[in-house]
Amino acid sequence: MRQYCMLCLVACFCVFNAALLEASEELPNFVVILSDDQSWVGSSVLMDPSNPETRSDYLRTPQMERMSRMGMRFTQGYAPAPYCCPTRRSLVVGQTPARHVYQKDQPGWAKSFRESLSLPRMLKLVDPSYRTAHFGKWDSRFDNVTPEQMGYDVSDGLTGNGTGGGKGDKDAGASDDPKLVGSLTKRVEDFIEGHAKSGQPFFVQVSHYAVHLDIFYRNSTLKRTRQWKPGRRHSLPKFAAMTSDVDQAVGQLLDHIDSLGLLGNTYIFFMSDNGGRLTMPGQNRGVLPRNYPLHEGKGSMYEGGLRVPFMVIGPGIEAGTTSRVPVTGLDVFPTIAEFAGFDGVLPEVLDGGSMVSVLRGAGQGKVQRSHPFLVFHQAGAREAQSALRQGDYKIVKHWAANRVELFNLADDLSEHRDLAAQHQQKCDEMEQSLDQFLEDVGALTERNTTKAGQRAMFSKSAP
3-state secondary structure 307-360: ECCEEEECCCCCCCEEECCCEEHHHHHHHHHHHHCCCCCCCCCCCCCCCHHHHC
Is 50 exceeded by the pLDDT of residue 134? yes
Burial class from Cβ neighbours inside 10 Å (0-12, 13-18, 19+) for residue 15 reads exposed
Spatial separation of the C-alpha atoms in residues 165 and 213, rounded to whole Å? 8
- % of the chain exceeding 90 in pLDDT: 78
pLDDT in tens, 380-391: 878 899 999 999
Round to whole Å and give the CA distance between 416 and 430.
19
Omega before residue 293 within 30° of 0, cis = yes
Q: Which CATH class is domain 28-359?
A: alpha beta
Kindly tell me if the per-residue pLDDT of 91 is higher than 50: yes
**pLDDT, average across residues 122-130:** 98
CA distance 297 to 304: 4
The pLDDT assigned to 100 comes to 79
Fold (CATH) for 374-461: Arylsulfatase, C-terminal domain (3.30.1120)
Q: At 446, is the pLDDT very low, low, confident or very high (cuts 50, 70, 90)? A: confident
d(CA 86, CA 71): 27
Q: Which of 395, 431, 434 is nearest to 415 (CA)?
A: 395
User: Greater confidence, 12 or 365?
Assistant: 365
Q: How confident is the model at residue 174 (pLDDT cuts 50, 70, 90)?
A: confident
- Average pLDDT of the residues of the chain: 89
User: What would the mean pLDDT of 11-28 be, rounded to a whole number?
Assistant: 50
Instruction: State yes or no: pLDDT of 107 exceeds 50.
Output: yes
Number of residues that make up the chain: 463
Question: Residue 17, class by beta-carbon neighbours within 10 Å (0-12 exposed, 13-18 middle, 19+ buried)?
Answer: exposed
> Where do runs of H (alpha helix) occur along 127-273?
181-198, 219-225, 237-259
The structural domains of the chain, with segments of one domain joined by +, span 28-359, 374-461
Q: What pTM does this model have?
A: 0.91
Q: pLDDT tens for residues 227-278?
A: 999 999 999 999 999 999 999 999 999 999 999 999 999 999 999 999 999 9
Q: Mean pLDDT, to the nearest integer, of 274-302? A: 93
Q: By C-alpha distance, which of 93, 100, 90, 94 is closest to 460?
A: 100
SS3 state of residue 144: coil
> CA 341 to CA 360: how far, in whole Å?
15
pLDDT tens per residue, range 200-211: 999 999 999 999
Distance (Å, whole) CA 167 – CA 94: 27
Rounded CA gap, 404 and 385, in Å?
10
